[in-house]
Amino acid sequence: MYIREKALALLETGDTVSGEQLAKELGVSRNAVWKVMKRLREDGYEIEAVTNRGYRLVSAPDVLTEAGIRRWLKTRELGRELEIHDRLDSTNNRAKILAANGAKHGTVIIADSQSGGRGRQGRSFFSPDHSGVYLTIILRPDCAPDRAGLLTSLAAVATARAVEKTADVKADIKWVNDLYVNDRKICGILCEAGLGMEAGRLEYAVVGIGVNTARMQFPPELKDIATSIGNECGEAPERNRLIAEILNETEALLGDLGTGHFLAESRKRSNVIGRTVTVIEGDKRYPAKAVDIDDQGRLVIETPEGRTCLNYGEVSLKLTEKRDK
């Protein structure tokens, strides 16, 4: 860890830290400590110098840091190994490389921006600099691939909880991998799996989560369907805390992967159930009424031909009517 990051980690405890203690912990002179504080102030950190006591961090810019995340992290495994990048093509791509080379369960890859963020079916995910949370969790659940399919629903519930803990918004789930606020998308989730040599067993899964946090303008093709937490409540959440809360909530739910108990909350948060939707299967489109989510996480729909279940990954949905308030 570089001297600047070590100094930030000490200051982010919230305590006043003496120049002498900083010098000792960092292994530098008192004059070098003064220079580090000067550089941090130039980078937007408000640092108060208290006579005869030391330095205190008053406020910080919304910069992703390991210390800032660990301040809120309560997990035993998820996020105990972190990679933070200024920019990646895709956190999922990086995670799959690490997972294939033996990265531990719970390793998390984070980027401040993505040049090639992806959603389902190869769609791009808008991931500009300093405007969102873009992360991927490497998981090695001991389960069959069919149960691993519930990871998307699990991650959606966990992320919805985390969003509501850090911002004054109500997060709904559009089956199966999007979070919505006021009928516009704030978050997309993409789960990908790697199968092991042993038949029917999962070697790893990567769970990619992208959340729009900052107040921002969207491209013309997205402005009517996408939004951000900041746009909806006037203030963006602290990204370090949001990342930590996503990891906290995900780990809390992982034990229910076998039972699917979190699906009850997925149903309650659904902005699809009870509404007319357009089902998109390749080139085929047809209207249907969303009726329920079953215990396998499939969407139950009703058409003139009767009821059927849709599997995640095979179809997409488009909302075709506004929900009653």
- Segments of the chain with pLDDT less than 50: 121, 325
Cα separation, 187 vs 75, in Å, equals 22
Whether 126 contacts 171, CB under 8 Å: no
Instruction: State the Rg of the chain over Cα.
Output: 22
CATH 3.30.930.10 domain locations along the chain: 66-269
pTM (2 decimals)?
0.84
Specify the pLDDT at position 325. Answer: 47
Specify the pLDDT at position 122. Answer: 52
CATH 1.10.10.10 domain locations along the chain: 3-59
Can you give the three-state secondary structure of the chain, one letter per residue?
CCHHHHHHHHHCCCCCECHHHHHHHHCCCHHHHHHHHHHHHHCCCEEEEECCCEEEEEECCCCCCHHHHHCCCCCCCCCCCEEEECCECCHHHHHHHHHHCCCCCCCEEEECCECCCECHHHCECCCCCCCEEEEEEEECCCCCHHHHCCHHHHHHHHHHHHHHHHCCCCCEEECCCEEEECCEEEEEEEEEEEECCCCCCEEEEEEEEEEECCCCCCCCCCCCCECCHHHHHCCCCCHHHHHHHHHHHHHHHHCCCCCCCCHHHHHHHECCCCCEEEEEECCEEEEEEEEEECCCCCEEEEECCEEEEECECCEEEEECCCCCC
Amino acid at 121: Q
CATH architecture classification, 276-319: Roll (2.30)
What is the per-residue pLDDT across 218-241, written as a single tens digit (0 to 9) for each? 988 888 999 999 999 999 999 999
What is the per-residue pLDDT across 66-101, written as a single tens digit (0 to 9) for each? 888 998 999 999 999 999 999 999 999 999 999 999
Cα separation, 7 vs 116, in Å, equals 33
Chosen CATH of 3-59 out of 3.30.1330.10, 2.60.120.380, 1.10.10.10, 3.40.50.150: 1.10.10.10
Specify the pLDDT at position 121. Answer: 47
CATH 2.30.30.100 domain locations along the chain: 276-319
Whether 17 contacts 55, CB under 8 Å: yes
User: Under CATH, to which class is 66-269 assigned?
Assistant: alpha beta
Specify the pLDDT at position 146. Answer: 76
The two tokens of residue 91 are 């956190």
The two tokens of residue 220 are 């013309």
- C-alpha pair distances (Å), 320 with each of 274, 277, 282, 325: 12, 5, 18, 16
